[in-house]
Amino acid sequence: MILTALAQDSTSAAMKSIFVAFVLLFASTVIADAKKPNIVFLLADDLGVGELGCYGQTKIATPNIDRLAKDGMKFTQAYSPSPVCAPSRCGILTGLSMGHAYIRDNKEIQPEGQYPIPADTVTIAKLLKSAGYTTACIGKWGLGPVDSSGDPIKQGFDFFFGDNCQRVAHNHYPDHVWKNDERTDLDGGGPQVVSGKHYAPDMMGAEAVKWLGENKDKPMFLYFSTTLPHVSLQAPADALAPYAGKFPEPKFPGKGTYVECDEPHATYAAMVSRLDQHVGAIVDQIEKLGLKDNTIIIFASDNGPTFKVGGADSEFFGSAQGRRGLKEEVYEGGIRVPMIARWPGHTAAGTSSDFATVLYDLFPTFEEAADLPASSNIDGVSLVPTLTGQGEQKPHDYLYFEFASHGGQRAIRQGNWKAVQTGLKKHPDAPVQLYDLASDPNESKDVAKEHPEVVEKLTKLMKRARTPAVLPAWNF
């Protein structure tokens, strides 16, 4: 068309043709972008795999998360990268195991925040943003104070709302939240407030729903990292009502940064159900916007259920499903997490997978789903073949975990064998425990003496699976 117009020496016609061609090119680009799936990652805080109805919970109602599982795929062998918050989140966002991640333990920075990830960190948010996605982190951050190199706005997120600092997030009625790099003070809140005017998790849920509506015409990546159900035990009256008086129990008097609570079990159940309501509101918004068929939703938890602190009682709720250990331990109870995926038209509804996955697999999974080149030098493998049932799922050679605190711990899983070492700070060559997860999923019987060749192999793998951490305190 353009050549013909030029041959006729018709300048105006040629310009019109060029304009039309440009418009068509632009339109095709917009259409191509529109076909990129929206990615919504919902991350709970200290939620046990056994605390959801779809995983067998009977005392706590979680109908919305259960519906996600019914409409998608439930993973039965999903792990968090670490048994605590900050390193787990670092592993998720960078695709790296605790043998290679920059953050390998919680470390607070005064006056507010945690040890920051470097400015040049390659996060999945940066990659998706470069591919045309608009990105948001709403909830808890924990990877660097405001205006540090680890500030979420400097790590690929266009928008941030919530608690930058994990310590601040210990109280659900805080005296402030952050919106991007601006502090918003909240009346009636504070570190020791038992109940206040502004329930931060509700604010985060509402902000996520609002953000989705405001950005519905662009490819979206939402990282919703709620602070529920992490202690302190606090819930609004309407959330507590269905459980009030249901579980006879003594009052928790309050201790340290954790506030007092009249009904600890009822309040914890209310917090999990409140989380479920927020998930439901986000899913409903996606469907109201007509985006269901073009949106991947992943739901998971950042680590295993909490130990007995702040009035929480993981044993009462069967939060770890009888597995050994809890949060801050590399035994199964500390790192096994729920994980659910819904991807209409790609993932068959009502299915489950026993593929042994770690949440750092989401990095390459989101890359592939967004049609981005696969990153090298990461530990994750894309789960797209498992989610779609197409192609061959690349297996992990092994899964490696470590945690510097509580004496120094590390673990490795290869197939059904799992090796664990504890007390490494005092004894770098501490005895290696060996468990066969196929016959002993609760790690109750150490069979190291019966299988010395397996112990030798996994011990060498554990040493090879890590590079030195940036902070000496994080090394053994």
Indicate the average pLDDT of the chain: 93
In whole angstroms, what is the distance from residue 387 CA to residue 73 CA? 7
Q: What share of the chain is helix, strand, coil (3-state, %, to 5)?
A: 35, 20, 50
- At 74 the three-state DSSP class reads strand
**Most distant pair of Cα atoms in the chain: their distance:** 91
| Residue 21: per-residue pLDDT | 39
* The token pair that represents 322 in the structure block: 């009888």
- Mean pLDDT, rounded, for 413-418: 98
pLDDT of residue 33: 46
> pLDDT category, 415, cuts 50, 70, 90?
very high
| H/E run at residue 300 | strand 295-301
Percentage of the chain modeled with pLDDT above 70: 93
Low-confidence winner among 32-46, 94-108, 362-376 (lowest mean pLDDT): 32-46
Q: How far apart are the C-alpha atoms of 476 and 404, rounded to whole Å?
A: 7
pLDDT of 370 higher than 80: yes
Complete edge-to-edge strand list for the sheet that includes strand 409-414: 399-403, 409-414, 417-422, 433-436
The Cα-based distances of 50 to 317, 378, 424, 455 in angstroms read 8, 30, 30, 30
What is the C-alpha to C-alpha distance for residues 196 and 184, in angstroms, rounded to an integer?
A: 16
At 151, the pLDDT band (50, 70, 90 cuts) reads very high
Other CB atoms within 10 A of residue 308 CB: 11
Of 29-38, 130-139, 177-186, 247-256, the one with minimum mean pLDDT is 29-38
* pLDDT of 30 higher than 80: no
Q: State residue 395's pLDDT score.
A: 96
The helix (H) or strand (E) run that includes residue 38 is strand 38-44
Q: Is 354 exposed, middle or buried (0-12, 13-18, 19+ CB in 10 A)?
A: exposed
Task: In whole angstroms, give the CA distance from residue 325 to residue 304.
Answer: 9
Indicate the SS3 state at residue 474: helix
Residue 13 has pLDDT above 70, yes or no: no
Alpha-carbon distance 258 to 298, whole Å? 30
- The pLDDT value given to residue 248: 85
Asked if residue 16 has pLDDT above 50, the reply is: no
CA distances from 369 to 55, 88, 218, 346, 471 (A): 27, 22, 16, 11, 35
pLDDT of residue 14: 40
Q: Dihedral through CA 240, CA 245, CA 249, CA 255, nearest 10?
A: 30
Is the pLDDT reported for residue 31 higher than 80?
Answer: no
Contact 476, 428 (CB under 8 A): yes
Query: Could you tell me which of 391, 294, 303 has the C-alpha nearest to residue 90?
Result: 303
Chain centroid to CA 305: how far? 14
Residue labelled with tokens 């919680």: 106
CB 21 within 8 A of CB 5: no
- Rounded to whole angstroms, the Cα distance separating 130 from 295 reads 19
Lowest mean pLDDT among 18-32, 234-248, 378-392: 18-32
pLDDT of residue 4: 34
C-beta of residue 287 within 8 angstroms of C-beta of residue 30: no
Residue 464 has pLDDT above 70, yes or no: yes
Please state the rounded mean pLDDT for residues 442-467.
98
- The tokens describing 186, both together, are 């909240």
Q: What angle do CA 415, 421, 427 make, to 5 degrees?
A: 155
Bridge partners of 352? 74
Does position 2 have pLDDT exceeding 70, yes or no? no
453 token code pair: 């060749």
pLDDT at residue 442 tops 70: yes
Kindly tell me if the per-residue pLDDT of 255 is higher than 50.
yes
In the predicted structure, residue 133 carries a pLDDT above the cut 90: yes
One-letter amino acid at 389 equals G
Closest CA to 210 of 142, 269, 138, 141: 138
- Evaluate if residue 25 carries a pLDDT over 80: no
The span from the CA of 206 to the CA of 142, in Å, is: 21
Closest CA to 300 of 39, 65, 63, 57: 65
| Average pLDDT value for residue range 296-325 | 97
What letter does residue 258 receive in the DSSP assignment? B
Taking only the tens place, the pLDDT of each residue in 171-211 is 999 999 999 999 999 999 999 899 999 999 999 999 999 99
Position with higher pLDDT, 224 vs 11: 224
| CA distance between the termini of the chain | 70
Cα dihedral across residues 460, 464, 466, 468: positive or negative: positive
| DSSP code, position 186 | -
CA–CA gap between residue 269 and residue 430 (Å, rounded): 39
- Angle, vertex CA 442, rays to CA 441 and CA 448, nearest 5: 80
Query: Is pLDDT of 9 > 90?
Result: no
User: Rounded CA gap, 383 and 66, in Å?
Assistant: 21
Higher pLDDT, 25 or 395: 395
Contact (CB, 8 A) for 97 and 401: yes
Tens-place pLDDT, residues 316-353: 999 999 999 999 999 999 999 999 999 999 999 999 99
